[in-house]
Structure 1
């Protein structure tokens, strides 16, 4: 079988029934296979080995599930039944923990604290359960002594289609193996404080482990893919890719932490965007848990919130992976089953349209793990601006030139490579937007020249009771806010002086009062300094392009306050940077997300509706979405169709733009634009 014919290169809809071992007897393989097929799955992830072996393993210290039936081979029966229904079988292994009886025999395999104590999981758990203990990634259990023999045993014995390692990451450990490896890698002793570990340590250990396990798998059956984890803010994606064939991420919607800690609405979107940019042979998989938190794992998320979270995975170019607690016969919250089936049936309708579709974006957000990227993501998604995220290792000149605008978030690491790429990008017609405090080191003068400011820069204290003032008439940043000169500001400012060839579009109005006295009394609330020449937004034309330098953190304002003025300012900055040209324009709707793809027949637009207070109790339909695309992108248009909710849509063209209206979006609509030369119908 050639690489182009491998099954996992085709669109996937995965269901993972996380079985409780005590429910083993309730598994009817034939019935389960039919149920999952009826839920529109085409792939199943199921437990095979690690903490529990779901077969009669002969590998020493591999704990066999004591609830397996005395007769027959349950795992073999399940695989055969899944295959008869056309479902692929991905084997799930979890070598991150082991039963305490293993510890008694092989204590050297386990994680150690600085006091030499093992890490125990669930010591206070009620019920007749043995203890679980964390295993060290650099010892035998997760490598040659147990994991490798288990893989050899199962791959030789069962017709497994793929492999997934649950919880494969590096657990901080101070055992002898880890200390020796750390000394060898970095040339100095391993620190006892976890926060002082080299940031590459976890990724390197994981890479070494996954390369060994993947290599073992390929040695036995080269066609079996490994599905490898990555996450949004931690670890190197390059290291994650090294031992994986297909990437997966887990944007869990944890509602059980309480309303004040509800996950950001854009978490699935960005998780998939990051993985799609690093995708291997197929788009990344987005794992969505059906529960509102692992402490509430035996019930489901509110259906409206669940459907909204699920819809973001395909809308941003990912593939869905449902994680359920149990099988349909043991799941008591039947809302979960209905939501999963409804979502999968929609994905199935769009599978052909999305297969090998190319995501389009005119804006790139340079990616790092700081807080500032979250605010930019929030703003770009909320204003329906298609964008990509670029990890630092990918942000070279060749990649930057694909975009009209590149955003550099606050405290982004800047070196000679970055400066050289940015200068060339701008001089050749690109538009750079740089935010806030800078991490420029010895390259300050060179960076200042690019930004259009003098090299002398001073960072302010954290300002409150301050404002941004729009400067001049017909200021493009004031669009939609023409009736106000000031909008709220808070945070740090980079005090600087603009170069003679730069243009200041916004300035700082400094605090009129300390925070504790802003309202006492109102008779003293006048602005002590109503105008300064301290710039907040500087525009610098350079070569064929331009640079916008924001001396404050717009992303922090959006992240913390979510005021309409800050979203509008972001929108205006993008318009100015792009010189008025936009890939997609949608009448702004709070809660709406929009993405655009080019496929074989034309274009596909996704609209995901998250309107309302989260967690969403019920859908709040959006009506009459006005959509515009440049005809220079689309050419002639034959037909516009809402594939999920609206059907055929009338459209108009005026020589410059394609225009149409989507009558309603309940949760998720995908609009197909078929290119051709049919005359447009008049919109009614």
Structure 2
């Protein structure tokens, strides 16, 4: 599709959402706000319109009007007009998840109920003169025919909005009679008393039903207006969301207020974007980044270095940035936020044309299982600068897997017949499967891995080791000076079968119970220095290969983050890539790398997260070297799009070698090919 034929929402977007506070309503000057958004680099704004409060003179019964709205003019109308004057698109924000207690008193059947029958209230202990907010039931008339639908019709008919975003559209655990009837009608049994016992798809089904209704209403009223819905890296059905909206967004929050021991993983924005991009033929996903270090501290900003690092991951992994700010610029007390957002948006503007319609050139696919095992592999791949995409189990068709040199199955992948057939075809056609840990009960999988199907799990092991087997062992690359690396956790006892199988590492069993590992040292000798119990089984199958690690490498990375575990992961991947590895980069812990191609030219993103988080200071990386596999294309230019610097490069031994003299937070290296 050419750029000229695209709808506005299919083009690069830089979104700012000023989260509006009702008591500051009289401080909103429409023209000033639009000018400020323009100066901060936005081409799209998300603005409160309806739901909890109406930000316009609504005629819909039970739609609570913001009591601070000016009476002399229509604030919403003037904000829309001012934004359009400055070529800023206007997305209307609705939140039907809650309503004031005055609505509850009139229509209590619309509200979510606890097991006890009491309504679900929000912020009951909030200081100040506030009415209570109460959670509405997603299956009630409030969320559709009684309030939500007429509000949408009213706004779509009265105002020239460009898009619609639903905040907090999801399911809240509810035990009202309507939910009980619906649950029994779907599942043929009573709604469980404990929410954790609800059917696994219940929450997604409820949201899907509600959003389907609203989506159809929008399209029937004004078909050109796109709708935006959330997806979640962990607790959601991406396919339900995909089929019920035009655009997708997600919130990888950097919640520092959880405390240092619970700080969000550095790769959260990266993986969130990778998951959203796994859906083909969709606009790139939005990454919503809040400016605050937590909603409890929402009136101050993230440390600027940490903030820039978090933001940079969104465009570097192929997403569109969406800034979420508390208030408008005039009410934001931490002016660092305005500086960071403005500077960042102008950097994005330098890159977005080159990234529009660009395609990932990752050679590795990680099956995303939304659990610790998948997190460990993602951590290892990112920290070793290995290009990868994420796929969901349902997306693993032979056609989808074929472009990848390697596919990773973290421990715990649920193996369906379709998935087993797809991965078997993939391997036998020349692919490489890397799988770890406990296996599903599947003889076909054992045959593919070159192991016997009488596998047995061990007890949890401590004080144990992995030993590299002697010989030309590619799994030991850069670990030649150590014959043992640390191992802990359960292993799977197995044995290789077939003449095309090789054991690359074996188990050294514990030399002591944990309470005796330190004393006395005179008794620290290994009682067994070598076994034939495999810890790495390499096998050939058809034209392809497999690697089975009968332990959880992802757990070791998650828990201990030792360099040798990262190196082991890297070696296992590069056994698949070999000389066909597309990109090699100087290794730095905390450096993220992605690569995209557009019309034969390359965009390579480098995001610097080096240092102890939360980042308080910039730690530049110097003299980075990029080595890109090269097949003789004619290079016309290599340039840093953000700095504007021309970069030194040469073609040597089949590699395009590029020197990046200094990396601050984010750079996009553009390799223009004729």
Query: TM (normalized to structure 1)?
Result: 0.97
Question: Matched residues in 1 for 2:75 and 2:371: separation?
Answer: 47
Residue of structure 1 in register with 2:236 after alignment: 235
Is 1:139 the counterpart of 2:144? The answer is no
Residue of structure 2 in register with 1:610 after alignment: 609
RMSD: 1.3
Question: Matched residues in 2 for 1:388 and 1:612: separation?
Answer: 25
Residue of structure 2 in register with 1:468 after alignment: 466
Residue of structure 1 in register with 2:575 after alignment: 576
Offset at residue 646 of structure 1 (A): 5.9
Question: Matched residues in 2 for 1:464 and 1:637: separation?
Answer: 53
Matches within 5 A, 1:183-582: 183-278=184-279, 280-440=281-441, 444-501=442-499, 502-582=501-581
Question: Matched residues in 2 for 1:420 and 1:324: separation?
Answer: 47
Question: Matched residues in 1 for 2:546 and 2:204: separation?
Answer: 35
Question: Matched residues in 1 for 2:646 and 2:506: separation?
Answer: 49
Offset at residue 234 of structure 1 (A): 1.3
Question: Matched residues in 1 for 2:307 and 2:313: separation?
Answer: 10
Matches within 5 A, 1:635-646: 635-645=633-643
Question: Matched residues in 1 for 2:280 and 2:105: separation?
Answer: 42
Tell me the secondary structure at the aligned position of residue 105 of structure 2: helix
Question: Matched residues in 2 for 1:645 and 1:582: separation?
Answer: 28
Residue of structure 1 in register with 2:19 after alignment: 18
Question: Matched residues in 2 for 1:270 and 1:9: separation?
Answer: 22
Tell me the secondary structure at the aligned position of residue 329 of structure 1: coil
Residue of structure 2 in register with 1:7 after alignment: 8
Question: Matched residues in 1 for 2:590 and 2:214: separation?
Answer: 42
Residues 314 and 347 of structure 1 are in contact (CA less than 8 Å); yes or no, is this contact kept in structure 2?
A: yes
Residue of structure 2 in register with 1:679 after alignment: none
After superposing the two structures, state which structure 1 stretch, 300-309 or 493-502, moved more. 493-502
Tell me the secondary structure at the aligned position of residue 211 of structure 1: helix
Residue of structure 2 in register with 1:76 after alignment: 77
For residues 257-277 of structure 1, what are the alpha-carbon distances to aligned partners after superposition, in whole Å with 9 as ceiling and x for unaligned?
100000000000000000011
Residues 396 and 418 of structure 1 are in contact (CA less than 8 Å); yes or no, is this contact kept in structure 2?
A: yes
Offset at residue 280 of structure 1 (A): 4.8
Question: Matched residues in 2 for 1:278 and 1:508: separation?
Answer: 40
Offset at residue 510 of structure 1 (A): 1.0
Question: Matched residues in 2 for 1:552 and 1:151: separation?
Answer: 53
Residues 548 and 577 of structure 1 are in contact (CA less than 8 Å); yes or no, is this contact kept in structure 2?
A: no
Offset at residue 645 of structure 1 (A): 2.6
Question: Matched residues in 2 for 1:224 and 1:366: separation?
Answer: 34
Tell me the secondary structure at the aligned position of residue 608 of structure 1: strand
Q: 1:662 aligns with which of 651, 655, 660?
A: 660
Offset at residue 655 of structure 1 (A): 4.8
Tell me the secondary structure at the aligned position of residue 540 of structure 2: strand
Question: Matched residues in 1 for 2:20 and 2:215: separation?
Answer: 25
Count of aligned positions:
672
Point out where structure 2 has 5 or more consecutive residues left out of the alignment.
none
Residues 658 and 577 of structure 1, relative CA distance in 2, 3 Å threshold: same
Point out where structure 1 has 5 or more consecutive residues left out of the alignment.
677-684
Matches within 5 A, 1:128-167: 128-167=129-168
Question: Matched residues in 2 for 1:637 and 1:538: separation?
Answer: 42
For residues 165-191 of structure 1, what are the alpha-carbon distances to aligned partners after superposition, in whole Å with 9 as ceiling and x for unaligned?
001111111111111111111122211
Tell me the secondary structure at the aligned position of residue 638 of structure 1: strand
After superposing the two structures, state which structure 1 stretch, 255-264 or 187-196, moved more. 187-196
Query: TM (normalized to structure 2)?
Result: 0.98
Residue of structure 1 in register with 2:67 after alignment: 66
Question: Matched residues in 2 for 1:164 and 1:646: separation?
Answer: 36
Q: 2:673 aligns with which of 667, 675, 683?
A: 675
For residues 646-671 of structure 1, what are the alpha-carbon distances to aligned partners after superposition, in whole Å with 9 as ceiling and x for unaligned?
61012111251111110010000100
